[in-house]
Structure formats: C-alpha cells, structure tokens
Amino acid sequence: MMDADTRYEAVRSRDGRFDGAFFFAVETTGIYCRPSCPAVTPKRHNVRFFATVAAAQGSGFRACRRCRPDAVPGSAEWNVRADVVGRAMRLIADGVVDREGVAGLAARLGYSARQVQRQLTAELGAGPVALARAQRAHTARVLLRTTDLPVTQIAFASGFASVRQFNDTIREVYDATPTEVRAAAPRDRGVRRAVPGAGIPLRLAHRGTYQAAAVFDQLAREAVPGVEEVTGGPGGRTYRRGLRLPYGTALVAVHERTRAARAGAGTHPGGWLEARLNLTDPRDLTTAVQRLRRLFDLDADPYAVDERLGAAPRLAPLVAARPGLRSPGAVDPLEPAVRALAGTRGAQELVRRYGKTLDAPCGSLTHLFPEPAVLAEAEPAGPLGALAAALADGTVRLDAGADRDDAEKALLALPGMDPAVVAALRVRALGDPDVAPPGADIPGTWRPWRSYAVQHLRVAGELPW
C-alpha cells in the first residue's frame, strides 16, 4: 500500500512501474493521467489519486490525450488477489457485467449485488457499472481508431445499451465526439488502421521487461495442431489460434517481435506485443483481448516478482539472466487440463474428433477446441470425462472469477484427478501466482511468487516441464 506522498514521488519521477497501479488527476486541468505521464508535474495540492480509471472518470476527470491512461496494463493486484474484489475485477475485465449485468456478476461471486457494489465502491471508488463503463469506453476508442466500422455498430459492439449513451460517455471520457476521436487517429503516432478482412490491429501493453522468447517457446512446445500454431524464426515468431467467445469466434495472431527486438535487443522495459484479431462479432473484442492478456501474463508486475525472487541465492542468477519472465495462463481452462491428462497428441486427436470446424480454416488452423459438454458426452469415462462434465454443469468453475481454493477442492473431489494436474490448473487456468508443484523443492520463502520461481527453474532446465 502506498500513501499519497509516496504516490506523488512516483509521479514526480515519472515511474512507469506504477502505471495501472494507480492514477492521478489534476484539479486545475480536469485531466487524469498515468504516473509516467511526460507532462509537467503538477503541484502537490492540485493532485488527487485514484485506484481505477472508473473512479477518476466518476469524479469528473477526462483522460489525458498524451499518456492515454486508460490504455495501460491492468493492475497486477487484481491478478494476484483471491478475494472478492480481485475476482470481481477479473470478471468485469472479461465482460461479465456487459453480458450478464451486475446480478450475473454477483451470482458468479456468491454475493448479493448490494454487497458487491459496496465492496468495490469502498475499495476502488467505483462500482461494477462504472468499472464496466470505463472498459466499454476504452473498447470503443480502440474500434474508432483502428476500424472503419459505422459508429452505430461500434456503440453496440462496445457494450453500450444505446447510441445516446455511447455518445455521452465518449464525450465525457475523452472530451471529444466519436467522430472526433476517429478523425484524430491518423495523427496518433504509430496507429495502424485495420485493412478490410485483415482484422483489428492491437497493441497488448505490458509493464517492465518481457521475456517474449521464453513465452513463445512454451506456447510452441504445447501447441495443439489444428487449434494453435507458432510460426516464424529468429527475427520474430507469431502465435496464432482460434478462439471461442461469448458471441462468436475469432482468429488471433500475436507477434513476438517488439520495438526492442527490432532494435536488436532481447527484452525491453515496458511496451507491447502486437496482435491482430479477426472477430465474427465485434462485441467479443473486450473478452478476446482480456483472454489473450491472461494467456501471455501481460498484467504481471515483474518488478515485484524479480525483487523477491532475485533475493533468493538459488534464483538470483536465473532472475538476472531472464528478468521479467512470465507465467503463461490459458484462454480456455479445458485446454491445459486436456494436455495434462491426455498429452499433446491425445489433445490433437480429441480436437480432430470433437472440435468444431472453423467456418473459414486459415492455414493449419482448422478447429476450435472441443466444448466441455461435447467432450463430456463423447468421452464420459475417466478423469478427463469427469472434469469435462463438471465444467459443463458448473460443479467445477475455472473462469477468471472462480475462487481458487474452492476450485481446487472441487477438482480433487473428481475421480482420478491427480494433484499435479490440479496444481497446473491453478497456475494456467486460474492464474494463481503462488503454486508449487507436488514434490518439487520450492521453499515457502519464495511466496507469493512460487509459480514464477517454478517457471524460472523450468526454463533453466532444473525442473521438468
């Protein structure tokens, strides 16, 4: 926890480590920024601090056009925390409020809507509706700047209930009409507009150093043919796959090569991964982006992880060799379970037999991963069938807002479920940063980042994959 004076010092030093952890607003200008904003530092008595973009917007401040505070990586705190606020933030990011309303969010969390509203407002300065509204505004800005979709279509694709609500929100948040936001896009440095049929170009931001090579190595090693692939070579690889989403499907491509890679460096301090999404329904943009962020662990805090693990004698040389190493997640909780229980070849066979064929296959991508209900009906026997059935009927929940301890208990209650598989699912499906595989020599002093410690040991060849 940081007090106001410490936050102001971070603002004075333009410390990018805190981008997304908090935001500051300037009362004399009515603008809110990220801590690393390059503008002249305001006087302390004119500054207010907020935990979220939604809280700043709710207090009447509009986003800085220079530092774009709504485009920073998400707070690493929401990924780490297992309490109701952390779980709620992950579900809101996944678009649950837009699809199911506050009542649906509360039901998933096991609380009343009033309790959820009270806890979020007390801690974050904004309730679930305001938090979802801020996210919708950012999604709308992305679509306005990168596509030629009609403004009316963007309004509903972003999750707004009406065009009037959409127009009012964009004016309030960005101090510009939707048409003005779109018109300004060509003047924004580095912005690329979508080519018809080629998808939406995106920058998936992250904080700190990002070890892209290690992540792409792992994704290449685990790739299930037909569903995902990694192509390219030393100059930069591309991860491609199909996604099943709430309103439709998508083909996504994420590129390993970054600004620093182009300059000849292996890592880079802060930046983004370039991506492109082909969506059958634009309403899925927010959800697709968030699931890619979980897969690539883009909301992690490498500063906190490296500081803690780098102090351990056994890990110090590994952290020095690979600062900012990430712990990848998953876009579909069933996928890591199937790989763990059936292996990659077994997963490929299940995809061939039960996966949904893409309407427009692209290269080697031909299928979507089987749905739990389909797999449960087709393969009812054994641990895999039991898990698929439990996911299908809700006995086991492995979504972004699931309670990790409850999920582990439910998994272990399934017939034939291996504790090692359960540990893997806590890391990959539930994004738990502090998991030690059964039997591994992982001391408790490495908490709360044992998942990252395991990743270092595996990449270094000291633990098996």
Secondary structure string (H, E, C) spanning 22-88: EEEEECCCCEEECCCCCCCCCCHHHEEEECCHHHHHHCCCEECCCCCHHHCCCCHHHHHCCCHHHHH
Give catalytic status of residue 33 as yes or no: yes
Q: For residue 333, say if its preceding peptide bond is cis, omega within 30 degrees of 0.
A: no
Residue 462 and residue 54: Cα distance in Å, rounded?
Answer: 44
Query: In 10 A of CB 405, how many CB atoms?
Result: 12
* Degrees to nearest 5, angle at CA 18 with 16 and 22: 130
Give catalytic status of residue 70 as yes or no: no
Residue 444 and residue 450: Cα distance in Å, rounded?
Answer: 8
Residue tagged active-site, from 33, 37, 64, 67: 33
Question: Is residue 128 a contact partner of residue 136, using CB atoms and an 8 Å limit?
Answer: no
Residue tagged active-site, from 3, 5, 359, 441: 441
Query: In 10 A of CB 314, how many CB atoms?
Result: 14
Backbone angles phi, psi at 118, to 5 degrees: -65, -45
Question: Is residue 82 a contact partner of residue 57, using CB atoms and an 8 Å limit?
Answer: no
User: What single DSSP character describes residue 281?
Assistant: S
- One-character DSSP codes across 423-462: HHHHHHTT--S----TT----GGGTT-HHHHHHHHHHTTS
Name 301's bridge partners: none
Backbone angles phi, psi at 243, to 5 degrees: -130, 135
Q: How far is CA 399 from the centre of its chain?
A: 13
User: What single DSSP character describes residue 117?
Assistant: H
Rounded to 10 degrees, what is the CA torsion of 350, 354, 355, 359?
140
The first and second tokens of residue 370, run together, are 């089987």
- One-character DSSP codes across 349-412: HHHHHHSEEEEEEETTEEEEPPPHHHHHHH--SHHHHHHHHHHHHTSS--STT--HHHHHHHHH
Count of alpha carbons within 13 Å of 54, Cβ hemisphere only?
A: 20
Nearest to 73 by CA among 245, 219, 217, 273: 273
Residue/partner pairs of 349-358 with CB below 8 Å, 24 or more apart:
350/375, 350/379, 351/224, 351/225, 351/226, 351/227, 352/226, 353/378, 354/378, 354/379, 355/226, 355/227, 356/244, 358/242, 358/249, 358/251
Residue 190 and residue 299: Cα distance in Å, rounded?
Answer: 22
Give the residue numbers annotated as catalytic, written as ranges.
33, 441
